[in-house]
Structure 1
Amino acid sequence: VFEDRYLNFCDPDIPSFYYGSHYSSMGIVLYYLLRLEPFTALHRNLQGGKFDHADRLFQSIESTYRNCLSNTSDVKELTPEFFYMPEFLENLNSYHFGVKQDGEPLGHVGLPPWAKGSPEEFIHINREALESEYVSSNLHHWIDLIFGYKQRGKPAVEAANIFYYLTYEGAVDLENMDDMLQKSAIEDQIANFGQTPIQIFRKKHPRRGPPIPIAHPLYFAPQSITVTSVVPSAISSSSSVLFIGLLDSNIVLMGEELILSVKLWLTTQLQSGGNFTFSGSLEPFFGIGSDVISPRKVATSLAENVEFGRQCLAAVQIHGDNYLILCGNWENSFQIISLSDGRIVQSIRQHKDVVSCVA
């Protein structure tokens, strides 16, 4: 069907395409996340203030899957929530979505038998599948289609990967368009019916390589550790530890009194190449070494009535440098702290209320 459409389509103004709909659009997001706000309200706004007919809403995994296999206009892909958020599968807010043609009211999303009626189990198994060796070994094919060399041109035609022309970046020049009605229609088309991502790669994406040896066995397999060592700080602190982060060779610690310290993380690991090679026969070992940054108080003030904890902190690595992101302060900002010297390198103030979580 798609091949016939592409070969037989004839329009002087519109290039041939395989798919008239798109795999990612605002409507698809609202379809899947109907049971969660703010998507519930956005769906109703799109439908003139009410829910769409119950039979057209997201009913079950099976019915959606079968529709994608049989309906040539349904090519939607999964949203990220399928791999981490079980709540979108439940009607936790008890919305009245109406009654289907078979007389059954629409409530929770119907799950496949292997989920055993548990949204959490469904998400868990779905995520395991995403991280499986099969997906990892074939991921480069998906990258080629969505972001790579098979997105446009002859490779896209050979892969049957051509969508409606307005979904592509640069297909029309809206800035120089004089017809305001046509411009408005095209803008609505782009906003509501999906857009193909910017093409990033012009060559075949390499296949994912084999996993590297575990560098931090305590993090992944604590039962394998047989030898430990800790070097105490020169400056002691009585502050309770609220946050522990691990970034390569550093352990990041934050106390309840905003006492920050960074220590060396010592561990045996397999290495190949370079001047040194550590044998895999060494006893599994980890140690907390000397201070990279001695314990010091971060120069910020927390907002009142905010429960400061690990949800307010995140350790990140940017271009090889390590940073700590901290929120919950009185100025409604979040701050970026260098873990090489402990100074605040940036304070970002864009929020109208206290930032209570970073992730």
Structure 2
Amino acid sequence: MLFLLCLTGADPRVLLPAEMFVNSNEYELGVRDDGVPVCDVELPVWAKKPEDFVRINRMALESEFVSCQLHQWIDLIFGYKQRGPEAVRALNVFDFLSYEGAVNLDNLDAAQREVIEIQIQACGQVPSQLLIEPHPPRSSAMHLLRQHEASVSPHQSPPFYPKPFSPEPRPASASTSSPWPTATLTNTLPHLSIPAAVTVTCSRLFAVNRWHNTVGLRGAPGYSLEQAHHLPIEMDPLIANNSGVNKRQITDLVDQSIQINTHCFVVTADNRYILVCGFWDKSFRVYSTETGKLTQIVFGHWDVVTCLARSESYIGGDCYIVSGSRDATLLLWYWSGRHHIIGDNPNNSDYPAPRAVLTGHDHEVKGPCLVHTITGDLLRALEGPELCQRPRLISVSSEGHCIIYYERGRFCNFSINGKLLAQMEVNDSTRAILLSSDGQNLVTGGDNGVVEVWQACDFKQLYIYPGCDAGIRAMDLSHDQRTLITGMASGSIVAFNIDFNRWHYEHQNRY
């Protein structure tokens, strides 16, 4: 539409998407009044690149400050301040022809109608009035936070948090199993029958460590003073007591050439099933976390399956599962939360069919990083700089930004369109990375046992936690983004208090 407007000479006042701030195709967009050709959009001094311009504008428009004032805008445009005395007091009065019903065009002759239509087009039209009473303000996070802080005595702190919102680490639970947790998979939503942090060792011994959502949250339903010295994570009693290890051990043979890592395991959103790959027969398998029994074997690849991933779940627990293999393909599967199987048909659970086949890799699915649609179409490859050739870890935000960790400590941040936005190099051998739910913050951990928090857009370092006595092998966040659970090389699980608001520009004056 913008291109057609430019060709016809009309006024092209259209908001451009981020990728169109640069005229990369060198279209001829005309000349300005001063004779300068129209080309790239000139950005304000506070935006170094188009992505910064979009990101900062979004931060402003989606901020809590704007949310708190949103009802006033509704009152002016659609509400009781649109017309009458309240509109006059609010200086919200326009030309009378702009208002709905001000004139009946059907009763005018052609000449009068044309004049009034031209005037309406020039002045604009006021939308229909929908409300005649003040619109209630939105319950923003800032309002709720003030209410919560008011309900807690300033001299008392929740037991799990040494200070309000203090990010000091505290050990949550110690595992007596000798192998270290190679995967930490957390689903802690309160409505789950078993909110838990599921950990898996390299010997495929898994533990369902129950999560207590009320611990440490004074004022939460079910909170009691008896919980004052308890931690939110409780070690799996079958592992702690060594009484039911047979229900937690996956004994099926894996291919000897497979290096077991966090990508070999996926846990369903209800924590009831664990999916495991790497088996010699080129399958991946589904096990019950309650009994440890095998419930389904899924075939589809021509070589050993080396990695699994899960999408966010729909209502009911349905989600997509992606399996990657040495046959250089990825298969997209559908997990039925109702039937607890791969596939839609419980009568055909022995032979489920993938939803799509994703191709584009020349070798085993390790790199480069490719972007596909869920129907199987290859969109683009995320190609890093010359020294960034072998990706090891990847984390994707809901906004489509991809953080990729390559060998030798190199990180890259890509947009969903494949543009390299930022890069950095670290000295530590990173073993785990993850993004906060809003995609603004990156958390990393590695062999030096230090958790670091970065600003995802430009890799600015925000915080370094005190080092632990063992390297970090895996990590995940609780559903409320307030606790970071890490699996350590010592075989223990360590929980860190974390509050991303600490580094948010709107909340920094609170700390």
TM-score for the superposition, normalised by structure 2: 0.33
> Which is richer in strand?
2
Larger radius of gyration: 2
Determine which structure has the larger helix proportion and give its number.
Answer: 1
